Structure 1
Amino acid sequence: MTTTMDGAAWDRVVTLHGRVEHELAKAVQRQHGIGLSEYRALCRLAAAEDGELRMQELADLIGLNQSSVSRLVARLESSGLTRRAHCPNDRRGVYTVITDEGRAVQEKAAPTYHETLGKALDAAAGDERVGVLVSALRA
C-alpha cells in the first residue's frame, strides 16, 4: 500500500532525477552533439560483449520502449555510430553493433558526462529537499 510518505519520497526522487538529467542532456548535446539517450546507448554497446546487443536488450538497459529504441538506433546508424546485424541463428533477431566511430564518440563524451554528473549531484546535495537522496546515492 502506497502512503503519503512514499509519494513525497518518490516526488523527491523525480525532482532529483529531472534536475540531473537536464544538466547531463544539455552538456552532452552542447559539447558532443549527441542526445543523452544516444550517449547511454553507446555506453551500453561499448560495454557489451562484441559491442552488440539485441534491440530489446538495449531498450531494457536504457529504459526505452521498443519504438523509441528503434528510432534511437536509426539515428545512431545514420550518424555512423552503430550498424545493424542479424542474428545468425534467428534471422528475425536484430542486433545493433557499435562502430569504431561510435566508440570514439562515447569515449570522448564520457568525461563530460561524469564531470557534469558530479557537479549536478554536488549542487543538489545542498538542497534540503533532495540532499539526503544524494547522500544515499553516494554512500
Structure 2
Amino acid sequence: MDALVWDQVVTLHGRVENELAKALQRRHGIGLSEFRALCRLSHADDGELRMQELADLIGLNQSSVSRLVARLETAGFTRRDLCANDRRGVYTVITDEGRAAVENASPTYYETLSRSLDDASSDPRVSGLVAALRTDVPVG
C-alpha cells in the first residue's frame, strides 16, 4: 500500500467515523466506541470478554477501555465479573439492556455506514477506495 492509498483510507475513515458517531449519539445517546464494545460483547461466548481482549478488539488502550466499561456499567449495559479460574482476571459482561441497545442502534449504524459510503463515492479523492471496499477489489 502506498502513501496515496493510505491517505485515502485515513480520509474515508475519518469521514465515516464522524457520521457514525453523530448518528449514534443523536438517535440513541451512545458513543461509537460504546456501540462497538456492545457489539463485540453481544457476539462473544457467554456475552463476556476480558477487559484487555475487549480493548484489543475495539482498538483502545487499557485505561480508555476501563473508562468505557465504567460508562457502560453506569448505563446498565454491562457488568463486571471476576474470572473463576484467575481471580485477577476481570471480565465485562453484556446485560439484557446492553443487548437491547445494540439491537436498537444497529439499523442506525448500518444505514449511516451505507449512506456515508454512498456520499463518499462521489468524492474523487476516495471514490476508488469506496468501490474497492464494496467489491473486494484490491486497492492500488
Band of TM-score, shorter chain: over 0.9
Do structure 1's residue 60 and structure 2's residue 48 form an aligned pair? no
Instruction: Output the CA distance in 2 between the equivalents of 1:105 and 1:24.
Output: 15
**Corresponding letter in the other structure for 1:121:** L
Residue aligning to 1:109 = 105
Instruction: Output the CA distance in 1 between the equivalents of 2:19 and 2:92.
Output: 27
Q: TM-score, normalised by structure 2?
A: 0.94
Report 1:14-93 matches (<5 A): 14-93=10-89
Instruction: Deviation per CA, 1:51-81: give whole Å up to 9, x if none.
Output: 0000011011111111100100000001110
Instruction: Output the CA distance in 2 between the equivalents of 1:8 and 1:67.
Output: 33
Q: TM-score, normalised by structure 1?
A: 0.95
Identity percentage of aligned residues: 76
Deviation at 1:14, TM superposition (A): 0.3
Runs of 4+ deviating beyond 6 Å: none
- Aligned-residue Cα RMSD (Å) equals 0.9
Pick the aligned partner of 2:131 from 101, 114, 135: 135
Instruction: Output the CA distance in 2 between the equivalents of 1:52 and 1:135.
Output: 35
Deviation at 1:7, TM superposition (A): 1.8
Instruction: Output the CA distance in 2 between the equivalents of 1:132 and 1:61.
Output: 27
Instruction: Output the CA distance in 2 between the equivalents of 1:79 and 1:28.
Output: 15
Secondary structure in structure 2 of the residue aligned to 1:115:
helix
Secondary structure in structure 2 of the residue aligned to 1:96:
strand
Secondary structure in structure 1 of the residue aligned to 2:133:
helix
Instruction: Output the CA distance in 1 between the equivalents of 2:47 and 2:57.
Output: 14
Deviation at 1:99, TM superposition (A): 0.3
Instruction: Output the CA distance in 2 between the equivalents of 1:9 and 1:127.
Output: 14
